[in-house]
Chain A
C-alpha cells in the first residue's frame, strides 16, 4: 500500500506532522496549485499501514488519518511493479 495526501482536499494545517510517531509528514515549503502548502512525505514506506495493512486486513495506527480534519490522507494500492525502496523494519 502507498500513503498519499489528496492535494485537492488538504488545507495544510500540519496536524499530521504533529501526530505521526515516525515523523513521516514534514512541513512543506511550496505552494501547490490551490495555494496551499501541503506537507511532504519523508520515506512513507516506513508507515505501518504501508507495510502491514494488507497483511492484517485492517487499519493500523492511523492517527494521521483520523485527525486529518480534511479527510485528505489515504492508502492506495500500488500499481504492479511500481519502483520500491527497500523496506526496513524499525
Chain B
C-alpha cells in the first residue's frame, strides 16, 4: 500500500466498484502528499458529493465532506480562515462542472492557494450514470439513451482560461506522471488544478462498449495525446486524430494568488 501513514486502513476496502479509477487517483494523490512531507495536522482534504468525493473519508487527516458542488466554496473558506493549512480538494466532473461550475471558475480566478484533483469519469457515477457536462458527444448514459448531443466541457482548458496558476491533465493509467503533476501542483502557489480522466466501468463503460476494466484503461491510454505532440501536429498543419484529449502540463505561471502560506 502506498503512503500507509495517510490511509485509514480500518475503512478499507473502500466502497468503489471493482476497477474504479478513483482508488488509483487516491493512491497517486497520497503519494504526492507523502513526497511533500506535509504534517497530518496541517493538511485538510475537502470534497463535495459523488463517488470521487468520498475519497477524503479514507484519509487519516481532517476532512470536510460537504454539499454537492460546494467543495471549492468550503475550501476557500478554510483557506481564508487558516492560510497555513495545506488544502487538497477531491471532486468529480458533475460536482465540479455541473452544480459547482460557478465555484470552479471563481476559485480559479481568485487563484486560491490549494490543490484541486478532479476525477473526471465523464458521468454521474454515484447516482446511476446520468450524463454530465463532460460526457463526450455520442456517449450513452441513462439521460442520453440515444447518445449525448451536447458538446462537452474541457475542464483543464477551462481552468487555464479562468486563471489557475497550475493546470495539468493525466489519466488513471499514467500513475507516475499523475503523481509528479500533483506534487508540482502542491508546490505551486495559487490554485493547482489536476484533471484525471478515470474509468467508471459500472456506469460509463457498461453502456459504451467498454465493459471490462482493461478495455476502459486501454481506451484512456490510446486516446491520450501529449500536449507537445498536439502542438507539433498543429504547427505542421497535420490533422489531430478524432476523440483524443491532451495530457501533460497545460500551464504553470505566477499570477497573484490568495491565501498563500506566509
Segment touching B, from A13-21, A41-49, A80-88: A13-21
CA distance A43 to B141 in the complex (A): 42
- Which listed residue (A8, A13, A14, A71) contacts B1, Cβ 8 A? A71
- Which listed residue (B23, B173, B217) contacts A70, Cβ 8 A? B23
Look across to chain A and name the residue whose beta carbon is closest to the beta carbon of B212.
Answer: A14
Instruction: Judge whether B151 is part of the interface by a CB distance below 8 angstroms.
Output: no
A32-88 residues at the B interface, CB under 8 angstroms: 63, 65-74
Query: How many interface contacts (CB-CB < 8 Å) are there between A and B?
Result: 65
* Contact residues in B for A13 (Cβ distance below 8 Å): 18-19, 213
Instruction: Judge whether A28 is part of the interface by a CB distance below 8 angstroms.
Output: no
Instruction: Judge whether A23 is part of the interface by a CB distance below 8 angstroms.
Output: no
* Contact residues in B for A15 (Cβ distance below 8 Å): 19, 24, 213-214, 217
CA distance A14 to B18 in the complex (A): 9
Could you tell me the dominant secondary structure of chain A's interface residues?
loop
* Contact residues in A for B22 (Cβ distance below 8 Å): 69
Shortest A45–chain B CB gap in Å is 21
* Contact residues in A for B28 (Cβ distance below 8 Å): 66
Chain B 169-199 near chain A by CB (<8 Å), digits 1 or 0: 0001101100100000000000000000000
Shortest B219–chain A CB gap in Å is 12
Look across to chain A and name the residue whose beta carbon is closest to the beta carbon of B3.
Answer: A71
* Contact residues in B for A69 (Cβ distance below 8 Å): 16, 19-24, 27
Look across to chain A and name the residue whose beta carbon is closest to the beta carbon of B14.
Answer: A70
* Contact residues in B for A65 (Cβ distance below 8 Å): 1-2
Known contacts A66-B27, A70-B23, A74-B1, A12 near B18 by CB under 8 Å:
yes
Instruction: Judge whether B7 is part of the interface by a CB distance below 8 angstroms.
Output: yes
Instruction: Judge whether A26 is part of the interface by a CB distance below 8 angstroms.
Output: no
CA distance A64 to B190 in the complex (A): 32
B182-235 residues at the A interface, CB under 8 angstroms: 213-214, 217
CA distance A15 to B21 in the complex (A): 10
* Contact residues in B for A2 (Cβ distance below 8 Å): none
Look across to chain A and name the residue whose beta carbon is closest to the beta carbon of B27.
Answer: A66
Instruction: Judge whether B81 is part of the interface by a CB distance below 8 angstroms.
Output: no
Contact B19 A11 (CB under 8 A): yes
* Contact residues in A for B31 (Cβ distance below 8 Å): 66
Look across to chain B and name the residue whose beta carbon is closest to the beta carbon of A9.
Answer: B13
CA distance A14 to B162 in the complex (A): 39
CA distance A68 to B19 in the complex (A): 8
CA distance A14 to B213 in the complex (A): 8
CA distance A30 to B7 in the complex (A): 29
CA distance A12 to B27 in the complex (A): 17
Shortest B218–chain A CB gap in Å is 8
Known contacts A63-B175, A66-B24, A66-B28, A71 near B214 by CB under 8 Å:
no
The 7 closest A-B pairs by CB, nearest first: A69-B23, A13-B19, A66-B175, A11-B18, A71-B1, A9-B13, A13-B213
Chain A positions within 8 Å of B, measured between CB atoms, are 8-9, 11-15, 17-18, 63, 65-74
Subset of 28 A-B contacts with CB under 8 Å: A8-B13, A9-B13, A12-B18, A14-B19, A14-B213, A14-B214, A15-B19, A15-B214, A15-B217, A18-B217, A63-B175, A63-B176, A65-B1, A66-B175, A66-B179, A67-B24, A67-B175, A68-B24, A68-B27, A69-B16, A69-B19, A69-B21, A70-B13, A70-B14, A70-B16, A70-B23, A72-B1, A73-B1
